[in-house]
Structure 1
Amino acid sequence: MIVMPYLFFNGRCEEAMNFYSQAIGSPIDMLMRIKDSPEPPPPECAPPGSENLVMHASMHIGKDTVLMASDDPSGQAKGFQGFSLSITVDDEAAAGRLYAALSAGGTPVMPLGKTFWSPCFGMLTDKFGVGWMVTVPGEG
């Protein structure tokens, strides 16, 4: 079994995916707009004026993780609360680069530092309101 995050944005999905692609260093695998769908979605799912919104986008992060996202044409997506995306990197230098890139325009929550479980761990909220935890695995 694999769990993959799927994020819903209010018209900023393409901007967010481009930001994550640059910050993490992973290319976007695919991005499809509502107008490019091979089958038109039901009108209640894509009201007039939503044609250029992202219907689905995805990118691989590392070997096994896929981050998926879309815009929410209904406008129901009101933010990201109650979870964080946790990303593990090999060393403190990589953690520092990733933390700085993801926190650009966002809010540091816990600066990178040593904890009892990790030689380098930090938390942030990015400029889209998504929480991230950056960690280097500890010994043992």
Structure 2
Amino acid sequence: MYVQPYVFFNGRCEEALKYYCEKLGAEITFQMRYKDAPPDAQAGIRPGIEDKIMHAAIKLGSTIWMASDGHCDPDAGSMNGFSLSLTADDDASAKKYFDALADGGQVMMPFQPTFWSKGFGMLVDRFGLAWMVGVPEEHES
């Protein structure tokens, strides 16, 4: 068993995924737009969201996560109650990812050494998604 994050971007999914591909090296492995779904007479597609992303799978490092534009509800609140935790292979990569995600976002905790890691920081990116970026702790043998 495993748990996969499924993130709803409320109409900004395509923009977010493009950004993550460019800045983090993510790869979209599957993508379907609402207009590509089979017709449903009882729950048709709301006008204006036909070209929005209904479902996508994204590979980031060794993780596969999923995303959607969701219902594109202008009254929807911001994403909260969770963070994605990105563990980089080394300090330089972690700092690069942190800076890329922080661009246009809000830093909650600057990337810095902590008692548990050589580098760790927290932020909310330009799409409203919270991230924790760090380097794995080193164990003494």
SS in 2 for 1:35: helix
Q: Is the 8 A contact 1:30 1:57 kept in 2?
A: yes
Question: Which piece of structure 1 moves more, 45-54 or 104-113?
Answer: 45-54
Residue 5 of structure 1: how far off its partner (Å): 0.6
Residue 42 of structure 1: how far off its partner (Å): 5.5
Q: Percent identity?
A: 49
SS in 1 for 2:79: coil
In structure 2, the CA distance between the partners of 1:138 and 1:53, relative to structure 1 (3 Å rule), is: same
Q: Which runs of 5+ in 1 are unaligned?
A: none
Within 5 A, what are the aligned runs for 1:3-18?
Answer: 3-18=3-18
Aligned residues: 138
Residue 66 of structure 1: how far off its partner (Å): 1.1
The aligned counterpart of 2:132 is: 133
Cα RMSD for the two superposed structures: 1.6
Within 5 A, what are the aligned runs for 1:36-51?
Answer: 36-37=36-37, 39-41=38-40, 44=43, 46-51=45-50
| CA distance in 2 between partners of 1:135 and 1:4 (Å) | 19
The aligned counterpart of 1:109 is: 108
Q: Is the 8 A contact 2:49 2:72 kept in 1?
A: no
TM-score (norm 1): 0.90
The aligned counterpart of 1:87 is: 86
In structure 2, the CA distance between the partners of 1:90 and 1:106, relative to structure 1 (3 Å rule), is: same
| CA distance in 2 between partners of 1:114 and 1:28 (Å) | 32
The aligned counterpart of 1:56 is: 55
Q: Is the 8 A contact 2:88 2:94 kept in 1?
A: yes
Q: Which runs of 5+ in 2 are unaligned?
A: none
The aligned counterpart of 2:33 is: 33
TM-score (norm 2): 0.90
Q: Is the 8 A contact 1:46 1:73 kept in 2?
A: no
